[in-house]
């Protein structure tokens, strides 16, 4: 239900004149565990402020083109996932850590980028569904159908999505997101920034509660 409310809020915001609105910039990666933990918090932020800000989602690229396997990273990831669960209550399945799948986050970022283009009002909901597919359902993050099935569930045409996802153009295009994150000087995920009248300020870096994020945003807008 929260995902639906966020989607409706974004759709309403998109119908308004957004020229003078502050831009809320969310930089993350679907396969970043702390971004997964931050999911309910950023939903609450958007629900609270959705009509007062524009949303820009940037895929920062946690481990794009990485070559390490899940088993290589098992101990490291297990500790992180336990910490995220304790902080956020988000559900994890750990079986995928016993596989030889490569922990390359580029495909998941590319999928979100495509939905951002095809159906921007649902990009945050799609981002969350991709997170759930990986962390809670252990879906293979290298299979096109992992992302296409979610897109179809959100009324996006499968063939259109698949053609873009598998194209050289979009495989190269995701690098623009990674560059954007670098230009914003983002060093950790998730990071939330606010751009107001040409000036961009960091709202939060890393996991944070919605109340604190909202407080910081209102303070920046009021300055």
Contact between 205 and 212 (Cβ < 8 Å): no
Task: Indicate the burial class of 95 (C-beta count within 10 angstroms; 0-12, 13-18, 19 or more).
Answer: exposed
How does pLDDT run across 95-136, given as a tens digit for each residue? 999 999 999 999 999 999 999 999 999 999 999 999 999 999
pLDDT confidence of residue 19 = 60
Token pair in block for residue 37: 């933990």
Residue with tokens 């004149």: 17
| Residues 6+ positions from 161 with CB-CB distance below 8 Å | 114, 115, 118, 147, 148, 151, 152
pLDDT for residue 12 = 47
pLDDT of residue 52: 87
What's the CA gap between 57 and 120, in Å, rounded? 10
Taking only the tens place, the pLDDT of each residue in 150-169 is 999 999 999 999 999 999 99
Q: What is the separation, in whole angstroms, between the first and last Cα of the chain?
A: 34
Residue numbers in the chain where pLDDT is lower than 50:
4, 8, 11-17
Query: What pLDDT does 55 receive?
Result: 94
Q: Which domains does the chain have, with CATH numbers?
A: 2-222 (3.40.30.10)
Angle between helices 158-165 and 168-183 (to 10 degrees): 70
């Amino acid at each position: 239900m929260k995902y639906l409310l966020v989607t409706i809020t974004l759709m309403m915001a998109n119908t308004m004149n957004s020229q003078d609105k502050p831009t809320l910039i969310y930089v993350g990666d679907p396969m970043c565990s702390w971004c997964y933990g931050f999911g309910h918090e950023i939903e609450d932020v958007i629900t609270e402020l959705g009509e007062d800000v524009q949303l820009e989602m940037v895929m920062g690229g946690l481990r794009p083109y990485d070559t390490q396997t899940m088993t290589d990273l098992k101990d490291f990831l297990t500790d992180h996932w336990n910490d995220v669960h304790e902080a956020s209550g988000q559900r994890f399945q750990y079986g995928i850590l016993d596989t030889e799948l490569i922990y390359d986050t580029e495909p998941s970022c590319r999928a979100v980028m495509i939905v951002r283009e095809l159906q921007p009002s649902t990009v945050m909901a799609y981002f969350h569904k991709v997170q759930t597919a990986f962390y809670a359902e252990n879906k293979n993050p290298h299979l096109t159908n992992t992302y296409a099935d979610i897109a179809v569930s959100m009324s996006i045409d499968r063939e259109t999505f698949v053609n873009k996802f598998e194209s050289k153009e979009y495989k190269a295009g995701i690098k623009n997101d990674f560059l954007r994150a670098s230009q914003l000087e983002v060093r950790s995920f998730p990071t939330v920034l606010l751009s107001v009248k040409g000036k961009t300020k960091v709202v939060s870096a890393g996991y944070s509660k919605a109340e604190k994020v909202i407080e910081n945003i209102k303070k920046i807008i009021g300055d």
